[in-house]
Each structure stands twice: as structure tokens, then as C-alpha cells.
Amino acid sequence: MARRGEDTHFGFETVPLADKQGMVDDVFHSVARRYDLMNDLMSGGLHRAWKDALVTAVNPPKSDRDFALLDLAGGTGDVAFRVVEAGGPGVRVTVCDINAEMLAVGRERAAERSHDDVVSFEQGNAEELPYPDRSFDCVTIAFGIRNVPRIERALSEAHRVLKIGGRFLCLEFSSVDVPGLAALYELYSFNLIPAIGGAVTGDREAYQYLVESIRKFPKPKAFAQMIEAAGFHRASFTAMTGGVVALHSGWRL
């Protein structure tokens, strides 16, 4: 539970920390059915390349060796499906998401792709994962960590459920570091993305929040320090597409 008086940000708005999760849930309830379509529209399809880089870093074994991946906030199954398709018969993925509507979309898609025997969808909170210590070989989260009210707690939980030698990988929007591109990206983000979101999903405010939440997220070096503070070793990050996104990594050693 949140401590009395503890605040956080919902986009640019400061709200009581206890209220943020419910507000984030409302955002994703409204966009679940068109979430992946919006990812294509907002990124010009680049999110596919970014997720491919994430899967390459996961490096699921192509043999029948057992490999357990926990994908946090991955309700629609996009990352999970990519991992099982890149790996061998020993790969299993557990998708843990707090949002029931996103999970429902993921289960439907898993059945359509005949992945429902290797990908499971479970409702849970990243801050209080319902899994034993040292349960997974890898933990991933793609474009979800910034929506967690207590990021430090989620990082600590990811560390707890990883096996010794396991890896944490986080794909998240970052800080554009190319002169000229930053201003163009800012214009695109704050003007076009909410408009596109409103036209496609009927919920402009949801995408206004998503854009604002990107701006409030820690800079890459600061987030790497948070990963280390959670107990991970060899924390690093790789900027992609001029810093639009970054792939963060940490190891449990």
C-alpha cells in the first residue's frame, strides 16, 4: 500500500501514488483491442525492429533445453510470441500483466497462433509478483516500466524471481539525443500521437497520458543506476533510433 501523502506522476499531473495504478489501468482498458495497431501507427512500424533487438538479447535456446521467460506488462503477447518463435521446444513464456483486457487479447492471439501450450497469461502486479524466488531464466518488460507506480519495487521483484545468472531486459522510450531530431520528435509526440490515438481508439486522453509519461521517465543513465540499486550487476543500455528508445540490461549474479 502507498504511504499516506506519497505522490507520483500520471503524465505531467501529480497524483497520490495509490491512485496511479487505477488511472493507468483505465488507460489500457480503453485501448487494449487496438493497442498493437496503435504501436504500428505511432512508431511507423519501428517497434517491430526494437522488439526484435529485445528478442535477440533474450537469445532463447534453439535446443530443447528448458528456458523460462517472464514477460511483464506484455498482455497482448507480442514479445512472448516472438520469443517462442525464435527459440526451441524448451522455451516457455509467462506473461504477467495487471490489466485483464490486455490479457484477454493475448489469450485469443495465443490460441490463434497455436501458442497457448507454451505461453501462459496471468494477472499480476509487477510490484508484487506471485512467483517463487529464482523461478525464471530471463525477465523482460517492453514499454511498460514507466507505467509502474513504484519502479524500484518492480525492479527488486524482477531481481528476486530471476535465477542466478539470469538477465533482466527492459525496452523503454528514452531521450532523443540527435540534434534537430529532438524538436521534431517533440512536435510529433505531443501533436500527432494523441490525434492518431483519438481517431483510431476514440480515446485521445489515453495517448496524451502515454506521451506525457515518456517525458517523465528517468534518463537512461539514471535508470541504469536504478537497475543497479535493485541488485543487478553489469547494468547497461543501448540507445536505438537516435535515442527514441533504449534497451536496458542487468544480470543477477
pLDDT of residue 204: 73
Collect the ranges in the chain with pLDDT lower than 70: 1-44, 181-183, 185, 187-193, 196-197, 200-201, 206-207
**How far separated are the first and last CA of the chain, in Å rounded?**
30
Alpha-carbon separation of residue 149 from 18, 47, 71, 241 (angstroms): 8, 24, 18, 27
pLDDT of residue 15: 43
Q: Which helix (H) or strand (E) holds 62?
A: none
Cα–Cα distance, 134 to 48 (Å, whole number)? 30
pLDDT of residue 52: 95
The amino acid at 68: A
Cα–Cα distance, 251 to 234 (Å, whole number)? 6
- What cell does 219 get? 534518463
Is residue 126 classed exposed, middle or buried when 0-12, 13-18 and 19+ CB atoms within 10 A define those classes?
A: buried
pTM of the predicted protein model: 0.82
pLDDT of residue 209: 73
pLDDT of residue 188: 63
- What cell does 90 get? 524448451
The strand pair at 91-97 and 67-72 is best described as parallel
Under CATH, what is the fold of the domain 7-251? Answer: Rossmann fold (3.40.50)
pLDDT of residue 175: 80
Residue length of the chain: 253
DSSP 109-165: HHHHTT-TTTEEEEE-BTTB--S-TT-EEEEEEES-GGG-S-HHHHHHHHHHHEEEE
pLDDT of residue 156: 98
